[in-house]
A and B are shown apart, each in its own frame.
Chain A
Amino acid sequence: MEKRGLAFYLLAAFFALFVVFLYGPTITIALLSFQGPRGNLTFPMRGLSLHWFENLFDEQMVGDFAGSFGRSITLALIVMLLTVAISLLAGLAFRRKFRGATVLFYLTVASLIIPSILISLGIGLLFAVMGLQPTWWGSALGAHLTWTLPFGVLIMFAVFNRFDRSLEEAARDLGASPFQTFRHVVLPLITPSLIGVGLFGFSLSYDEFARSSMTAGSDNTLPLEIYGMTTNVTTPVLYALGTMTTMFSLAVIFVCVTLVVVLRRK
């Protein structure tokens, strides 16, 4: 193997700095969320405690944390299931030519590049004109899907573009019905990708702010609640909340990655 030159070490150092830049701020608030009761938003640490994590459940301090957390998780789960199902079906559809395929494809791409605030405003207006109350499980659900579906559909697009069709032909030659072929040949092969789509659907919905801002109605989702807090909460309880939600997101990612690794081993 070629000896590593100066370029490698310079680039590796640059990459390391980039990773510090990506993760450094998150680590600082993780540390500061363990501040003692008299600590404030910046270093130094004044003692070490779980004080601010206990405060999370004090409604007077942070508002409706438990309620908004529950709503966000429920919404994220619904978005995840719908994103996986709809992307898979659309991915299968795009394997063959059909009328309107091009229009649908461009609509999907448009969904990705049209600024979130427009989607939020448009859905808000639509509900207002029709006399409907916006809700987190209705209008916000739709708004989130316009963000998660393009990712899901484009991932399925890439998956099926690289899919070896001879495997299906073999199954068919052996007498499998189209459904059997799908269930026993196609599905097991694409399951890791579907988990990836699910992870995207869940995480993007769970963290979405802009598309919820005009569509969530009277009950806040967690990002809306956190945003509201930034204007009036000036204690490390804000960091405790940040640390909690980030740990939750990392746990979800960890579960999905583990699932994929286990499936690939089999």
Chain B
Amino acid sequence: MKTPNKSRDLTLTTAAVGLLLVFLWWANGHLDNYKIQVLNLIAINSILALSLNLIYGFTGMFSLGHAGFMAIGAYVSSLLILPPVQKEMIYILQPLIWPFSVLQAPFFIAVLAGGFAAALLGLIIAIPVLRLGGDYLGIATLGFAEIIRVVFTNLTPITNGALGLKGIPNYANIWWNYGWCLLTLFFLIRLINSNFGNVLKAIRDDEVAARAMGINTFKYRVVSFSIGAFFAGIGGALMASLITTIDPKMFSFLLTFNVLMIVVAGGLGSLTGSIIGSAVITVLLEWLRFVENPIDIGSFHLDGIPGMRMVIFSLLLILIILFRREGIMGMREFSWDSLINRFSRGGEAR
């Protein structure tokens, strides 16, 4: 086995990030708004998928509560970036109560606050719920996400109830989104490859054995869950600012499911997979919109069928899980070594 060449990898990584930035700069100037929107969604979905992958793929905690954490992040950050005048305008049922009506923060701080609020909630939820295992944990976290949604629908003086928030400033441009995405990725790579990450993987593979080795598994699971919740909050905050309108209905189980779908399609326990999965699924979902538009094939006219997109999408999901259940990457990760080995014939392969 070759020793990993650290300085070479660092150079290559820097070059790749540079290349990405050049591409984004080009895309920002040359692509139309719709394509840029798709690029933005890829970044945000990556953040969400990476965070769920940390909880489920690397620590083995089956959590279906992502939509709840996203909702917290989205609402906290949106309340902080909405100008007070705008807030007065949209709260028509009941006025917004005091601290929130005047609080204001720059975008970066607002997003960070959204993340921390979600992490705090994650911590509060984790301490009772993580005593459960397996499917029960999934159902309990799903329950918490639903409770958050119902509470947000009814907490009109803070959340504006079912009407939701409109006209959220559109600060989340391509630079913010990809900046946060790279930050998330970098943080998680460091975390997964650290001793802490090894403990998480040990817990995933066999919790009883990990406990027998003297690891306080509960503590590690709680921390991992909260970090996942943090990045889910960040993703929710960016998403809110990207689409500028949020309401509690948006944060239903469907949203969690989309993220879970990306993680599984990419490969559970593979960060690379989550990124690739985000790109593939986001583009696929957008591309599938064509089935809902009218189609003309020669003299044959097909009316667009609303809802058909999700029919095809769910069918694809079933096919993926039936025929390639480990996803695109399985548990493998991208590394420069494997890439170079693939392209250098006659090199010392393996």
A-B interaction: no
Interface of A with B (CB < 8 Å)? none
